[in-house]
């Protein structure tokens, strides 16, 4: 076993958390170049941490364990008939949120539109709260989810004084209100996902509510908005018209486009684990209690696996990388993959098909800054604006 390149520095003074959060891509790129290795050691959250930026290392980190019993018990809620019963609602959400994109004849902030669409999907599927049927309840929950999420990623200080409350304290208050709503749903609603979740034999009374809180959090709509925004930008403009038309005709082409979108612009920068015992990772020794962070941006651009790693090439998935979808880690990987990834894929494709069949679109203005920010969820730092034209209008013109 080899010694890990890099060093963890000393406690507190050697911590690089702020540097990483300022720009994780620059942070990792500098160290990959410095150490000539896609695996390196640094200090993150004041803990010695191994950074994994290779496909090989990611697979070792995430694919070494069997799925737990709880995961198996939840799995059926995201497969088979449960997915089929969601299809009509997905279609109605697409129509409700996207049918008027071209009416104003003004550029649209697509990330904001897709985030609203994601919120409608999540609250409707998981909590049986539909925006069209219960607009006031929907709005209340959406605001609580946003406040909860924004507070959690703020400085964790609980302060309440006259005329001012810290963001973290507001997040805790929002969480309490959300938990009250969720518990009421679990006790009184027997239909759909929330009814099925409430019937599972969880180890304690609060487990189902905790899982549901995670599912309806603002994080999921943001992740959906991230992927859909990247798809819209990648296939926008007259130069991509042929690819858009091919995506309508050929589901395999759409699938390859979405794999490439996910590869280049993963919604989450990665994930973190802690070594419970001394381990080996990518031929390096990882001591007990060290952290291990996998960085999806660099794993997806590993030149050992992906030729021309920085280029948007959907055709790679029918050529050299055919059948290698399992090497992506946007939603985890192996036994540690997101349990709702299949549902996410189905919904993303539903939205993309709707857009492709109904609209042509282009950047408006044509020149925009698409520098991405990567935390907490990836998206262009400056929200892009896009103009949509209905295809029936295009044909008539």
Domain residues for the domain of 76 are: 16-128+189-359
In the chain, the number of structural domains is 1
| Distance of alpha carbon 157 from alpha carbon 141, whole angstroms | 24
The CATH number covering residue 72 comes to: 1.10.630.10
Q: What is the pLDDT of residue 168?
A: 74
Question: Is 172 contained in some domain?
Answer: no
Q: Is residue 5 part of a domain?
A: no
Residues 6+ apart with CB under 8 A from 288: 275, 276, 277, 278
pTM here is 0.91
Q: From residue 367, how far is each of 103, 105, 111, 319, 364 by CA, in Å?
A: 23, 19, 17, 32, 8
293: nearest Cα among 329, 325, 324: 329
Domain presence at residue 366: no
Q: Give the distance, in angstroms, between the CA of residue 198 and the centroid of all CA atoms in the same chain.
A: 26
In 3D space, the residue among 12, 14, 27, 8 whose CA is nearest the CA of residue 269 turns out to be 27
How many C-beta atoms lie closer than 10 Å to residue 35's C-beta? Answer: 15
Task: Convert the pLDDT of each residue in 36-62 to its tens digit.
Answer: 999 999 999 999 999 999 999 999 999
pLDDT in tens, the chain (397 residues): 788 999 999 888 899 999 999 999 999 999 999 999 999 999 999 999 999 999 999 999 998 655 565 666 677 777 666 666 678 899 999 999 999 999 888 999 999 999 999 999 999 999 999 999 999 999 999 999 988 887 665 444 444 544 445 667 788 899 999 999 999 999 999 888 888 888 887 777 688 898 889 888 878 899 999 999 999 999 999 999 999 999 999 999 999 999 999 999 999 999 999 999 999 999 999 999 999 999 999 999 999 999 999 999 999 999 999 999 999 999 999 888 888 888 899 999 999 999 999 999 999 999 999 899 998 899 999 999 999 999 976 544 4
Residue 177 in any domain: the answer is no
Within-domain flag for 383: no
Instruction: Find out whether 338 is annotated in a ligand binding site.
Output: yes
Measured between alpha carbons, how far is residue 149 from residues 2, 173, 370 in Å?
40, 12, 24
What is the C-alpha to C-alpha distance for residues 200 and 343, in angstroms, rounded to an integer? 20
Q: Is residue 160 part of a domain?
A: no
What does each C-alpha distance from 256 to 20, 112, 114, 357 come to in angstroms? 31, 25, 21, 18
Residue 383 contacts residue 109 (beta carbons within 8 Å): yes
Sequence-ordered list of residues with C-beta below 8 angstroms from that of 245, at least 6 positions apart, any chain: none
Cβ partners under 8 Å of residue 178, min gap 6 = 141, 144, 145, 148, 213, 216
User: Tokens in use for 334?
Assistant: 């192996």
Residues in CB range of 45: below 8 A, 6 or more apart: 15, 17, 291
Structure tokens at 124: 């409707």
Q: What is the pLDDT of residue 161?
A: 45
Q: Number of C-alpha atoms within 13 angstroms, CB side, residue 315?
A: 3
Nearest to 240 by CA among 358, 395, 362: 362
CA–CA distance, 331 with 340 (Å, rounded to integer): 9
Are 107 and 387 a contacting pair, CB within 8 Å?
A: yes
Give per-residue pLDDT as tens, 127-144.
Answer: 999 999 999 999 999 999
Could you tell me the end-to-end alpha-carbon distance of the chain, in angstroms, rounded to an integer? 67
> How many CB atoms sit inside 10 A of residue 172's CB?
15
The answer as to whether 280 is a domain residue is yes
Residue position matching structure tokens 């651009």: 301
Domain assignment present for residue 138? The answer is: no
């Amino acid at each position: 076993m080899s010694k890990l390149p890099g060093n963890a520095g000393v406690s507190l003074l050697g911590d690089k958390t702020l540097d990483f959060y300022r720009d994780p891509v620059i942070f990792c790129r500098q160290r990959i170049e410095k150490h000539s290795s896609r695996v390196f050691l640094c200090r993150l959250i004041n803990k010695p941490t191994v950074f994994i930026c290779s496909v090989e290392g990611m697979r070792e980190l995430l694919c070494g364990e069997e799925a737990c019993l709880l995961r198996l018990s939840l799995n059926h809620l995201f497969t088979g008939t449960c997915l089929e019963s969601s299809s009509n609602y997905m279609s109605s959400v697409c129509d409700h949120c996207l049918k008027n994109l071209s009416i104003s004849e003004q550029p649209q902030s697509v990330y904001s539109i897709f985030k609203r669409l994601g919120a409608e999907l999540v609250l409707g599927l998981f909590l049986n709260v539909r925006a069209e049927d219960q607009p006031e309840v929907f709005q209340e929950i959406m605001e609580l989810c946003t406040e909860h999420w924004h507070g959690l990623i703020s400085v964790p200080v609980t302060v309440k004084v006259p005329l001012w409350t810290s963001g973290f304290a507001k997040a805790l208050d929002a969480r309490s209100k959300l938990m009250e709503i969720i518990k009421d749903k679990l006790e009184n609603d027997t239909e759909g996902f929330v009814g099925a979740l409430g019937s599972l034999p969880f180890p304690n009374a609060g487990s189902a509510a905790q899982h549901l809180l995670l599912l309806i959090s603002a994080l999921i709509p943001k992740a959906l908005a991230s992927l859909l925004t990247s798809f819209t930008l990648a296939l926008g403009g007259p130069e991509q018209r042929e690819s858009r038309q091919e995506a309508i005709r050929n589901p395999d082409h759409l699938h390859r486009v979405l794999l490439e979108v996910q590869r280049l612009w993963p919604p989450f920068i990665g994930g973190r684990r802690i070594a419970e015992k001394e381990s080996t990772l990518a031929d390096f020794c990882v001591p007990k209690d060290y952290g291990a962070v996998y960085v999806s941006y660099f794993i997806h651009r590993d030149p050992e696996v992906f030729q021309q790693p920085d280029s948007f090439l959907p055709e790679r998935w029918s050529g050299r990388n055919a059948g290698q979808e399992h090497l992506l880690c946007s939603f985890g990987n192996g036994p540690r993959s997101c349990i709702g990834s299949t549902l996410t894929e189905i919904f993303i494709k539903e939205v993309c098909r709707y857009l492709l069949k109904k609209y042509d679109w282009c950047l408006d203005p044509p020149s925009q800054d698409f520098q991405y920010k990567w935390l907490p969820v990836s998206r262009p730092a400056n929200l892009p604006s896009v103009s949509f034209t209905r295809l029936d209008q295009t044909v008539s013109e």
